[in-house]
């Protein structure tokens, strides 16, 4: 039997309690609890372990960028106990064999639960449905499907996919990008792109797909999830759709909550990402939407790339940035330190809601007796300088050099400390 | 001046000094013995990742007139086609001893990346980066305007205050326009941008879609026509060559309505009969051939300024 008490931790609702964990489950919540080991958590915020609905782990195929192991470690450092691995690997996760491989690699690593996301279309080609049912029936039990990196732009395929996966309560996570409107696009279309001579990615290319897809979801009464909302206009469409009772959920990335397109003036591709960094107006709209519930979750779109993919001219560089280890800090900044919302909302957008959308049964639970001990303890008082090098294998880190609030002190994955006193465990849980 | 990457980096004094030096270089070009020993023993590398015979040759002549050793690196048939990066290519060449890189690249920002990302400490001249900037083109255009408007031999120390310049065509994809807009404003000129709405970039001042109306209203001293690429039709920026020419071409009729001493310019190569009528291009108002000659003088001045740091004109 392994048991410990997290003493005097502050819950999302501000109650200060002791949390006793026995054999991976929350056994007791109270005051003055005793156990083999008592860990002082005074001043720490106890939150349900974070769940990322949008992670690129790159394995199989791009192990020079990230592996399931290194990505899982980075996730644990960021306070995550579960991540959803995107399908754009090599080979693509468009069949039962690949999703089972990724799932198994996650179990072997033992730092977080790795839930594979299946491709919507075969080889992400956007022409023929992938074997969605087989991926769901596999040991990986896939429920979330996405061609992320590419949009399912064919309306017929999108409609059929949503209808097909609804049968087992699956959901399509759409990367909303009208392909014709974004040919060769390099950054947000606007005054900065006009000045820099970089081809623009207009907001309407995202908004027009979201508008179409919420109408498709309405007509089918099916669920729809929109990846990485980046524009004020997208927020308005989601707000309208929710007011109509359409079953749509939406995510925003930490970088779209913090960074703006003027960073491209350096032509440093560390700021090159898809969808692109937008304007201050967009950032403000996304923040308000996260506070008021129009946007349901924060998802990282953690997208590691090797240095050679970024140490080049802008147009030749890859899209994407890492984000697992700064997401909670950005969420704290936007929700708590801003005075606009609270820790309960942070727990909702970082854990409860993503787990609910994805159907993860052992994550995103309330901190109550009998639940699995997937917990994150944050020291909110810390202001930390972000270093370029994280536990990820890649260093395409746009936050490097910034000061962000809060630090993950402990991450507990099924009762096991994957991070303790800010240090990553040498081994995963086995 | 460590590099010449953008005309935005030049203040008014810098720009006028460079133009004055360019005028002096023009004097050299008109001599019987067109050669200065200034850059003897210095190595200039033309790093051309994009075809441009005109600009490459202009820099080549400029370097040779200053007695520099010149190396032409062209991406075609080179290691770049085998996947070598800009960083590695530049570092490989720099290892052989280079005093200045002149770079032409299809990616916007490539010159800035080469200069400022720590890949090399060699001075960099931007000879055109994607649809971003082409600063030596803007300098040669300003030099040409000074000559025409103030008179040859009366240009020293002069700016372009109050001069009205109309730039016509595909502004959105034009590095020439971007560099000109900034430099001309620095020199005090009033710049207007005219073209189809699809080819006018957002956030720029003084834009017009109706060429006739704009020319009547502005009464420009200088009309600069930009080359229109017919490939733009495939991306639906405009319907046809005929329609483009009808609404935005400098036809003989339009030319006749301009003032008698208007200066007509074009960065070349021209599509005669499309954006500019042949008779207009060859008229006495046209400064197009002079622009090419001035290109050499401006590039001599820039190379001289960057390479012989000990004799900087700015000091």
pLDDT at B81 over 60: no
Give whole-number Cα distances, A13 to A46, A138, A176, A219, A328, in Å.
10, 38, 35, 38, 17
pLDDT digits (tens, 9 = 90+) for B246-299: 999 999 999 999 999 999 999 999 999 999 999 999 999 999 999 999 999 999
Whole-number Å distance between alpha carbons of A334 and A119: 32
Q: What are phi and psi of B148, to 5 degrees?
A: -70, -35
Interface test with B, best of A184, A263, A270, A313 (most B CBs within 10 A): A313
Whole-number Å distance between alpha carbons of A162 and A222: 6
pLDDT digits (tens, 9 = 90+) for B194-222: 999 999 999 999 999 999 999 999 999 99
> What pLDDT was estimated at residue B313?
40
**CB-count exposure of residue B106 (10 Å: 0-12, 13-18, 19+):** middle
Give whole-number Cα distances, B6 to A364, B10, B175, in Å.
52, 8, 10
- Residue whose token pair is 């609890």: A33
Active site residue A301: yes
- Residue whose token pair is 């040498």: A426
Q: State whether A194 and B204 contact (CB < 8 Å).
A: yes
> What pLDDT was estimated at residue B74?
86
A415 φψ region: left (φ > 0), alpha (ψ -120 to 50), beta (else): left
**CB-count exposure of residue A42 (10 Å: 0-12, 13-18, 19+):** exposed
Interface test with A, best of B106, B113, B171 (most A CBs within 10 A): B113
Of A195, A197, A312, the CB nearest to B130: A197
Q: What's chain A's Rg over C-alpha atoms?
A: 20
A268 to chain B, closest Cα gap in Å: 8
Q: State whether A191 and B202 contact (CB < 8 Å).
A: yes
Q: Is B206 on the interface with A (CB under 8 A)?
A: no
Q: Is B104 on the interface with A (CB under 8 A)?
A: no
Of A190, A268, A311, the CB nearest to B87: A311
A111 to chain B, closest Cα gap in Å: 36
> What pLDDT was estimated at residue B308?
75
Interface test with A, best of B75, B108, B133 (most A CBs within 10 A): B108
Q: State whether B178 and A191 contact (CB < 8 Å).
A: no
pLDDT digits (tens, 9 = 90+) for B56-67: 999 999 999 999
> What pLDDT was estimated at residue B51?
85
Q: Is B86 on the interface with A (CB under 8 A)?
A: yes
A197 to chain B, closest Cα gap in Å: 4
Q: State whether B106 and A183 contact (CB < 8 Å).
A: no
pLDDT at B310 over 50: no
Whole-number Å distance between alpha carbons of B308 and B311: 6
Of A190, A196, A312, the CB nearest to B108: A196
Q: State whether A197 and B129 contact (CB < 8 Å).
A: yes
Of A183, A195, A267, the CB nearest to B112: A267
> What pLDDT was estimated at residue B307?
87
pLDDT category, B83, cuts 50, 70, 90?
Answer: low
> What pLDDT was estimated at residue B31?
84
Mean pLDDT across B114-128: 96
> What pLDDT was estimated at residue A357?
98
Which residue of the set A261, A282, A296, A301 is catalytic?
A: A301
Whole-number Å distance between alpha carbons of A173 and B170: 39
A86 to chain B, closest Cα gap in Å: 28
B290 to chain A, closest Cα gap in Å: 28
Q: State whether A315 and B133 contact (CB < 8 Å).
A: no
B29 to chain A, closest Cα gap in Å: 34
Residues of chain A with pLDDT under 50: none
Q: State whether A315 and B131 contact (CB < 8 Å).
A: no
pLDDT at B312 over 70: no
DSSP states along B42-94: -EEEEEESS--HHHHHHHHHHHHHTT-EEEEEESTTSGGGGT--HHHHHHHHH
pLDDT at B77 over 80: no
Whole-number Å distance between alpha carbons of A124 and A157: 12
Q: State whether B110 and A311 contact (CB < 8 Å).
A: no
Of B85, B106, B173, the CB nearest to A312: B85
Q: State whether A316 and B86 contact (CB < 8 Å).
A: yes
Q: Is B201 on the interface with A (CB under 8 A)?
A: yes
> What pLDDT was estimated at residue B82?
58
CA angle B21, B22, B23 (to 5 degrees): 90
Interface test with A, best of B109, B232, B236 (most A CBs within 10 A): B109
Q: Is A308 on the interface with B (CB under 8 A)?
A: yes
In this structure, what token pair is assigned to residue B149? Answer: 């408007």
Let me know: does A210 contact A238? Beta carbons within 8 Å.
yes
pLDDT at B78 over 60: no
Whole-number Å distance between alpha carbons of A261 and A344: 31
Residue closest to A133 by CA, chosen among A101, A103, A94: A94
A199 to chain B, closest Cα gap in Å: 9
Give the chain A residue whose CA is nearest to the CA of B114.
A313
> What pLDDT was estimated at residue B315?
37
Q: State whether B202 and A267 contact (CB < 8 Å).
A: no
Q: Is A195 on the interface with B (CB under 8 A)?
A: yes
> What pLDDT was estimated at residue A2?
86
- Residue whose token pair is 């330190």: A337
- Whether this prediction's pTM lies above 0.90 is answered by yes
Give the chain A residue whose CA is nearest to the CA of B106.
A315
Neighboring chain A residues of B85 at a CB cutoff of 8 Å: 308, 311-312, 316
Q: State whether B203 and A190 contact (CB < 8 Å).
A: yes
> What pLDDT was estimated at residue B165?
98
């Amino acid at each position: 039997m392994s048991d410990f008490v997290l003493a005097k931790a502050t819950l999302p609702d501000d109650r200060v309690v002791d949390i006793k964990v026995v054999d991976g489950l929350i056994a007791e919540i109270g005051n003055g609890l005793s156990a083999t080991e008592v860990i002082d958590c005074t001043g720490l915020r106890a939150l349900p372990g974070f769940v990322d609905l949008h992670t690129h782990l790159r394995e199989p195929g791009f192990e020079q960028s990230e592996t399931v192991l290194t990505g899982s470690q980075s996730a644990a450092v960021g306070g995550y106990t579960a991540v959803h691995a995107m399908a754009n690997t090599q080979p693509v996760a468009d069949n039962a064999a690949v999703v089972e491989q990724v799932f198994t690699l996650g179990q072997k690593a033992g730092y977080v639960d790795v839930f594979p996301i299946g491709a919507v279309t075969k080889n992400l080609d956007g022409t023929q449905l992938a074997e969605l049912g087989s991926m769901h029936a596999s040991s990986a039990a896939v429920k979330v499907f996405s061609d992320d990196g590419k949009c399912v732009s064919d309306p017929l395929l999108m409609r059929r996919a949503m209808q097909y996966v609804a049968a087992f309560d699956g959901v399509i996570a759409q990367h909303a990008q009208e392909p014709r409107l974004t040919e060769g696009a390099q950054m947000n279309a606007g005054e900065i792109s006009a000045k820099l001579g970089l081809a623009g990615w207009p907001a309407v290319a995202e908004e027009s797909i979201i508008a179409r897809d919420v109408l498709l979801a309405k007509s089918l009464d099916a669920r729809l999830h929109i990846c990485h909302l980046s524009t004020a206009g997208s927020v308005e469409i989601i707000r309208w759709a929710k007011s109509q009772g359409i079953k749509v959920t939406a995510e925003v990335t930490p970088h779209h909550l913090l960074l703006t397109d003027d960073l491209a003036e350096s032509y440093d591709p560390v700021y090159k990402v898809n969808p692109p960094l937008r304007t201050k107006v967009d950032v403000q709209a996304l923040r308000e939407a996260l506070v008021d519930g129009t946007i349901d979750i924060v998802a990282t779109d953690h997208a590691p790339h090797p240095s050679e993919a970024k140490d080049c001219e802008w147009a030749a560089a890859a899209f994407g940035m890492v984000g697992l280890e700064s997401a909670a800090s950005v969420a704290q900044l936007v929700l708590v330190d801003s005075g606009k919302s609270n820790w309960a909302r942070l727990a909702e957008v970082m854990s409860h809601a993503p787990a609910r959308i994805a159907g993860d049964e052992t994550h995103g639970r309330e901190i109550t007796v009998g639940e699995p001990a997937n917990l994150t303890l944050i020291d909110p008082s810390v202001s930390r300088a972000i270093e370029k090098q994280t536990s990820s294998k890649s260093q395409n880190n746009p936050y490097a050099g910034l000061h962000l609030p809060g630090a993950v002190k402990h991450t507990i994955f099924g009762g096991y400390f994957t991070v303790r006193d800010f240090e990553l465990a040498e081994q995963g849980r086995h | 001046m460590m590099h010449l990457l953008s005309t935005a980096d030049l203040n008014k004094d810098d720009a006028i000094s460079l133009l004055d030096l360019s005028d002096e270089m023009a004097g050299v070009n008109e001599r019987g013995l067109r050669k200065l020993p200034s850059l003897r023993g210095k190595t200039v590398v033309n790093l051309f990742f994009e075809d441009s015979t005109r600009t490459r040759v202009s820099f080549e002549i400029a370097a040779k007139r200053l007695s520099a050793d010149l190396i032409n690196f062209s991406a075609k048939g080179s290691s770049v086609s085998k996947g070598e990066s800009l960083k590695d290519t530049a570092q490989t060449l720099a290892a052989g001893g280079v005093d200045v890189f002149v770079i032409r690249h299809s990616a916007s920002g490539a010159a800035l990346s080469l200069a400022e990302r720590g890949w090399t400490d060699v001075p960099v001249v931007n000879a055109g980066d994607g649809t971003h900037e082409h600063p030596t083109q803007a300098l040669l255009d300003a030099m040409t305007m000074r000559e025409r408007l103030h008179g040859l031999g009366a240009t020293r120390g002069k700016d372009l205050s109050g001069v009205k310049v109309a730039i016509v065509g595909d502004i959105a994809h034009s590095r020439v326009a971007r560099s000109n807009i900034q430099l001309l404003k620095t020199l005090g000129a009033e710049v207007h941008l005219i073209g189809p709405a699809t080819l006018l970039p957002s956030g720029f001042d003084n834009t017009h879609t109706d060429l006739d109306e704009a020319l009547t209203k502005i009464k420009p001293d200088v009309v600069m026509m930009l080359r229109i690429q017919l490939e733009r039709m495939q991306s639906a920026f405009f319907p046809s060559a005929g329609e483009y020419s009808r609404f935005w071409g400098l036809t003989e009729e339009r030319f006749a309505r301009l003032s008698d001493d208007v200066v007509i310019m074009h960065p070349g190569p021209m599509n005669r009969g499309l954006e500019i009528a042949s008779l207009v291009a060859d008229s006495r108002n046209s400064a197009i051939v002079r622009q090419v000659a001035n290109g050499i003088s401006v590039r001599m001045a820039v190379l001289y300024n960057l390479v012989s740091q000990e004799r900087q004109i700015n000091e």
